[in-house]
Amino acid sequence: IQKHTTGVNCDQCEIGWYRPLGVRPDANVPCLPCDCFKLGSSGSCVRDDSQAHLGKPAGTCDCLVGFTGTKCDKCALGFYKFPNCEPCPCDADGSMPSLDCGDTCICKKNVEGEFCNRCKQGYFFLDRDNPDGCTECYCSGVSKTCVEASGYRVQEVNSLNGWLVSDITGTYSAVPSVDTNTHLLSVGYYELPDVENYYWLAPEVYRGNRLTSYGATLTFRVSWVVIRGDTSGKPTSGPDVILVGSNGMKIGYGESFYHQNNMSVTVQLVENGWYEINKDGKSITRSDLLNILTDVKYLMIRAKFHTDQVEGSLESVCLETGVEGTSGTAVGYLEQCSCPPGYKGLSCESCDFGYARILPDSSTPHQQAVCSKCNCNGHAESCDTTTGQCGICEHHTVGLNCERCAFGYYGDAQQETPDDCKRCACPLEDSENNFSPSCEVDKSGKDYICNDCPEGYQGKHCEECTPGYFGNPLEKGSKCKKCDCNEGPCDPLTGQCLSCRGNTEGWRCERCKPVHYGDPKMFDCKPCDCSEIGVVKTDECDAESGQCGCKDKYTGRACDQCQAGLGNITAGCISCNCDPIGSTSSLCNPVSGQCSCHQGVGGSKCQQCLPLHYGFSDTGCKKCECNELGSVTQDCDIDTGQCDCVDHVVGRACDNCQVGWWGL
């Protein structure tokens, strides 16, 4: 066994030893110790020539972080102060690479700071792979201050809905067919017969503001079918992708011949590789691309690849874009500019509220638009740059220049703030308790007056109920309601009636007072007036009918009568016992007990004739009718009716002279 060897056949060196190039495993001294710098290595080295093709011949030491060289006896790039090899203080992203960084950092072109750790003014995104260190702020040419935008994540736009086929100018278009099995889009040469090169025209979901797609990729897959046979046809060339901005600039990517019948292409949306169409292939700048991505008018993907092509298919299109607040891979190429007044957006690409986008000189192509302030008192999102007509007035304003508060609002709309016009609170802003549809500023200019309070409301802000109404308009859900007190007054907050008429009482004068009965709604409540003799309790009766609680034998509402066949309440309602001859009925008066007598009959029981009457019978008693001159008195015999005559007078009624006498 050879010393410091290992393995089944003893053909390998132990860890910490190596076999030099050309030395056989069976040599007398096949392995040598690794000659590594102790502070810079792990103590081991490459044990044979198996890694020579990787630039690591046998004996190459395994270096610790910060060290390099075959024996780990040098500081690695980015480290200094051998033998300790400390990290350079210079930011590796922003400084120029150096074997010995020393005490002075050499910054890249667009980087500054003692340690080259920040971008210069007008630049952003410190990047190690950027030879200049930082990228120039675009900011639509209106600002020089920007930082790297944060919080944006990659999201894919992937849809085959709404695609069309058009010529390279976008003038002519056709609707492609959809394969029911594969769902791929297809177009035949006959659908655009007069168009030499045609393109897939992207739907709206791929267009518009695509600044957050800068630095991302566009990946698509297409295929095509060529006529079989020996023809003179040949592959065609043209841009694989075309972007057209709303500023009129048209750029392309790729210009190749393809001999296969399908391809998958990935294009990075950075300026490298893109060129301006119709400008002799002039390369574009970063600003050119960002100007187009600000508002993409057309995105076109090549559909024609051969002169004898009969059909082209679009299989997939995936556009990466940055979306704020989602999950996924972070987007690092985006700038967040500090925009001047009138501009907004990541790159100040949009006009802020109250500004309109105009081109200073419409005759100059590709010119960046300028945001000009609208004369709309800050209340319209935009305006017509030719007529000056304001768009839809917001913030509750109206007028040609949004100079007045809308109906139902008050304030000075010309202060140019979103809060110029405040809603009339009459007395609350909530619609449930806003009782006046309009209001106006008062003389002080600091408050307002509700000028259309409905019936039942009063006060500067309709905050009180008028007399005859109750409620609390300042309390949500509460309204002024008419007092329900039979025309009487009530408490202005609670609605409790304060003065009830007609012997009524209660919160709404809704009932009669105690020991009263009747209809409180008609103010008609009367005392019970129960008979003290005939009632069980004198202090109560039915509230509606007034019926008192009667003792036995008593009846009537007030218990002031005897039941039928009884009479004389003071005597305790005894039996009538009316005389069957002298009375007209067996019933008597329920109060007094007096029987109902025939004419001329008297007595409580109708048991005798009345004075000056006679002849008691079932038809009554007759009047005496004694002659005043011929009778002693007016009374007569109760049975016969004979009057008491004076001398010489005769007759029952004493109304004749005796025979032989005259002169009565």
Res. 363 pLDDT band, cuts 50 70 90 = very low
The Cα 636–Cα 629 span in angstroms is 14
Phi and psi angles of residue 302, each rounded to the nearest 5 degrees, phi first: -60, 135
Asked if 317 and 180 sit in the same domain, the reply is yes
Strands (E), 520-630: 524-527, 554-555, 561-562, 566-567, 574-575, 583-588, 595-597, 601-602, 608-609, 613-614, 622-623
Number of Cβ within 10 Å of residue 116's Cβ equals: 22
User: Does 443 have pLDDT greater than 90?
Assistant: no
Closest CA to 148 of 109, 119, 114: 119
The Cα 492–Cα 379 span in angstroms is 42
Q: In the numeric block, which tokens belong to residue 188?
A: 């035949």
Task: State whether residue 28 is helix, strand or coil.
Answer: coil
Q: In the numeric block, which tokens belong to residue 21?
A: 């190039």
Asked if the structure places residue 323 within a domain, the reply is: yes
Asked if the structure places residue 507 within a domain, the reply is: no
Query: 350-351 and 355-358 as β-strands: parallel, antiparallel, unpaired?
Result: unpaired
Asked if the structure places residue 644 within a domain, the reply is: yes
Question: Scanning the structure block, which residue is given the tokens 């009918």?
Answer: 545
User: Does 292 have pLDDT greater than 60?
Assistant: yes
Asked if 276 and 210 sit in the same domain, the reply is yes
Average of per-residue pLDDT values in the chain: 90
Identify the CATH number of the domain in which residue 146 sits: 2.60.120.260
The Cα 569–Cα 555 span in angstroms is 10
Identify the CATH number of the domain in which residue 15 sits: 2.170.300.10
* Span of 167-176, 244-253, 649-658 with lowest mean pLDDT: 167-176
Asked if the structure places residue 450 within a domain, the reply is: no
Asked if 62 and 210 sit in the same domain, the reply is no
The Cα 219–Cα 396 span in angstroms is 47
User: Does 231 have pLDDT greater than 80?
Assistant: no
Res. 375 pLDDT band, cuts 50 70 90 = very high
Asked if 54 and 185 sit in the same domain, the reply is no
The 8-class DSSP code of residue 522 comes to G
Domain total of the chain: 3
- The whole-number pLDDT of residue 79 equals 85
Closest CA to 342 of 143, 587, 533, 70: 143
Task: State whether residue 126 is helix, strand or coil.
Answer: coil
- At 294, which helix (H) or strand (E)? helix 286-294
Res. 432 pLDDT band, cuts 50 70 90 = very high
User: Does 362 have pLDDT greater than 60?
Assistant: no
The Cα 402–Cα 390 span in angstroms is 8
Q: In the numeric block, which tokens belong to residue 365?
A: 């192509």
Residue type, 396: H
Number of Cβ within 10 Å of residue 352's Cβ equals: 17
Asked if the structure places residue 549 within a domain, the reply is: no
Closest CA to 542 of 522, 531, 554, 557: 557
Q: Which of 2-11, 275-284, 341-350 has the highest mean pLDDT?
A: 341-350
The Cα 594–Cα 568 span in angstroms is 8
Average pLDDT for 618-642:
93
Asked if 3 and 142 sit in the same domain, the reply is no
| pLDDT-above-90 percentage for the chain | 69
Asked if the structure places residue 354 within a domain, the reply is: no
User: Does 381 have pLDDT greater than 70?
Assistant: yes
User: Does 634 have pLDDT greater than 80?
Assistant: yes
What pLDDT, in 10s, does the model give residues 477-514? 999 999 988 778 899 999 999 888 889 888 888 889 99
**End-to-end C-alpha distance for the chain, whole angstroms:** 199
What pLDDT, in 10s, does the model give residues 35-89? 999 999 999 999 998 888 888 999 999 999 999 999 999 988 878 888 999 888 8
Residue type, 301: I
Q: In the numeric block, which tokens belong to residue 232?
A: 């003179």
Asked if the structure places residue 126 within a domain, the reply is: no
188, β-bridge pairs? 311
Domain of residue 590: give its range.
583-657
Q: In the numeric block, which tokens belong to residue 243?
A: 């972007």
Asked if 247 and 314 sit in the same domain, the reply is yes
Asked if 149 and 36 sit in the same domain, the reply is no
Average pLDDT for 331-353:
92
Asked if 38 and 142 sit in the same domain, the reply is no
What's CA 389's distance to the chain center, in Å?
31
Query: CB–CB of 289/333 below 8 Å?
Result: no
- The whole-number pLDDT of residue 31 equals 92
Q: Which of 87, 114, 146 is the last residue of a domain?
A: 87
Q: In the numeric block, which tokens belong to residue 162?
A: 């709404």
| Upper half-sphere CA count for residue 385 (Cβ side, 13 Å) | 13
- The whole-number pLDDT of residue 366 equals 56
Task: State whether residue 561 is helix, strand or coil.
Answer: strand
User: Does 445 have pLDDT greater than 90?
Assistant: no
What is the value of pTM for the model shown? 0.59
Asked if the structure places residue 458 within a domain, the reply is: no
Q: Which of 46, 66, 87 is the last residue of a domain?
A: 87
Q: Which residues contact 232 (CB under 8 A, 6 or more apart)?
A: none
Q: Which of 337, 360, 386 is the last residue of a domain?
A: 337
Asked if 249 and 142 sit in the same domain, the reply is yes
SS3 readout for 537-595 = CCCCECCCCCCECECCCEECCCCCEECCCEECHHHCCEECCCCCCCEEEEEECCCCCCE
What pLDDT, in 10s, does the model give residues 597-615? 999 999 999 999 999 999 9
What pLDDT, in 10s, does the model give residues 78-135? 788 889 998 888 888 998 877 667 668 889 999 999 889 999 999 999 999 999 999 9
Asked if 162 and 55 sit in the same domain, the reply is no
Asked if 81 and 165 sit in the same domain, the reply is no
Strands (E), 412-559: 421-423, 439-441, 448-450, 457-458, 464-465, 469-470, 481-482, 504-505, 511-512, 516-519, 524-527, 554-555
- The whole-number pLDDT of residue 228 equals 77
Asked if 141 and 68 sit in the same domain, the reply is no
Q: In the numeric block, which tokens belong to residue 542?
A: 């039915």
